[in-house]
Structure 1
């Protein structure tokens, strides 16, 4: 599914050092969990990170700054915000 990235999410990417390509890969390979208000939170678990590393290589992921704590909040086909988790995501 293609996601539209909101202006707010683009701003947060810039502020938090997460490149746009990193968000695209996070959405494509990440695992979804339910969030408040009918939204979904997308995170990279260990399995998804290994899949990304096997496909793109570890150096490529390091350049994209996709860490295991990076998340995206989506709803209705839009990426609402992105960031770095401070607490574990439940229901994965």
Structure 2
């Protein structure tokens, strides 16, 4: 494997982990929402829609892009849950 290919592979893994952490960070907002301190529902809804489109793109392209798919999959669920709990 070429040095550039190894770099891209590592970069994809790091970016995937960071994206998952970004969406897991919705947990405090979700907890606040459930305690009645509601956050704005728009941003997590837009994030969930964005993640859905990225997952569709990554899954259905000719050579599936698993890092992009896996990086965005949690964003769909956490974004929708953060959105739903922010509604009051």
The TM-score, its normalising length taken from structure 2, stands at 0.29
Larger helix proportion of the pair: 2
Larger strand proportion of the pair: 1
Choose 1 or 2 for highest CA Rg: 2
